A = this chain, B = another copy of it.
Amino acid sequence: MGRTIFIEELLHKPMEETSVEIVERKGRGHPDYVIDGASEAVSQELCKYYLKTFGTVLHHNIDKGLLVGGKAHPVFGGGDVIDPMYLVVAGRAVTRVKEEGGDRPVPVGTLSLRAIKAFLKANFRFLDVERHVIVNYMIKPSSLDLVKTFEAGREMPLSNDTSFGVSYAPLSQTEHLVLGVEADLNSRQTKKHLPEVGEDIKVMGLRKDHRITLTVAAPQISSLTPDLDHYLSVKDEVKNRIEDLATKITPQDVDVYVNTADNLAKSIVYLTVTGTSAEQGDDGNTGRGNRIHGLITPCRPMSLEATAGKNPINHVGKIYNVLARQMAEKVYREVPGISEVFIKVLSQIGTPIDHPLMTDVQLILNKGVPLSHVRGDVESIVNDELASIRNISQALIEGSIPLF
């Protein structure tokens, strides 16, 4: 069966040549990231349990969640969390499987708590999972019909919805920079040299022509920060570190601002007990953070689907976003003559996921490159990627593809 693939030229300026660009990343400790991580952790745990127990991944969708901020009292050199955060994930999952000799229950609750707490422990150094957060789940039994749909497509899963995935390549310099800054500040190496820097790093990049302004929020861990002098010196180091990094990523001018809400006159600094602003009132919702490439990019096409928590077998709102991204990167990397590539993959409910309703490829070509020169190679890559779409499911179960 052939596939519907549209390939067209787009007569736009590439992103680097536009005059204004806005890019944002909510780092590993941001409330929206944390609740995304919790939703996804539950999905991965369920996948592994279903696979081990029943030999196949069963239907689930945990793509909603809420992290309610707590109340904290950080002080230089110490402090404590006063009221814990409250984290709840919501969705549906197969909770009971018919077997010979009766139904077999799936320990969805126990698995969810374990998965979320393991994620939190791995994600934070100073958040005490037992005292600083209350973890809950509201997961209902999957409706029978969805389960059926799911099982029917065991060979090639059938799309669960009419939805789409969207992505593009390559990343711009600003995008690389914003990603890089957060990655660096949350890297193992930086945590070793600057353990004071908490995980809730937020980076906003604004490019105006060839000048990039980076606004970075980077909390400090109160127990490691004995006084204001220490705080300020760490803040300086963070700034220097970012400036150094910037010179390696982009030749453009980069202005760096750190913790702009600080107000020394009023004794306001960005101090946290745990490393996340959720300890003091900031809330998060699943699907409100970074898109598939780890960024929020209002100047680019974006999907509003939450990838976190959706099942990786037939939920196209997850799979097609990963797919679009992988296709775009491969096309850009392997086909010469292309300046930028935008890909949308559309599903139709109930049809095999390797045969989307349509794959739409838009290309900004290098000057002088005709579409006909690249069309064949692009189509071939798109087809290959669709044919091997199940690899994505496998990689998602293993957690080897970053989603946000």
Contact = CB atoms under 8 A, between A and B. Distances in A.
A65 B285 contact: yes
Contacts of A212: none
B110 A283 contact: no
B109 A285 contact: no
Contacts of A90: 66, 68-69, 283
A155 interface: no
Contacts of A284: 64
Contacts of A86: 138
Contacts of A299: 301, 344
Contacts of A178: none
B283 A285 contact: no
A83 interface: yes
Contacts of A208: 6, 358
Contacts of A298: 164, 166, 301-304, 344
Given A64-B283, A64-B284, A135 B132 contact: no
Contacts of A8: 19
A239 interface: no
Interface stretch (A100-108, A240-248, A394-402): A100-108
A114 B140 contact: no
Interface string A245-276: 00000000000000011010010100000000
A22 B95 CA distance: 35
A90 B32 CA distance: 13
A281 B130 CA distance: 24
Interface string A164-187: 101000000000000000000000
Nearest to A66: B66
A3 B290 CA distance: 30
A70 interface: yes
A371 interface: no
A330 interface: no
A20 B109 contact: no
A97 interface: no
A245 to B, nearest CB: 20
Given A20-B360, A73-B105, A162-B260, 7 more contacts: A65-B66, A66-B285, A68-B140, A71-B105, A73-B107, A82-B108, A285-B288
24 contacts: A11-B11, A22-B346, A64-B285, A65-B66, A66-B66, A66-B88, A68-B138, A68-B140, A70-B109, A80-B110, A86-B138, A113-B130, A129-B130, A140-B281, A145-B268, A162-B204, A260-B349, A285-B287, A287-B288, A298-B302, A298-B344, A299-B344, A300-B301, A302-B304
The 10 closest A-B pairs by CB, nearest first: A83-B109, A64-B283, A66-B66, A20-B360, A285-B285, A68-B138, A80-B107, A82-B107, A82-B105, A90-B283
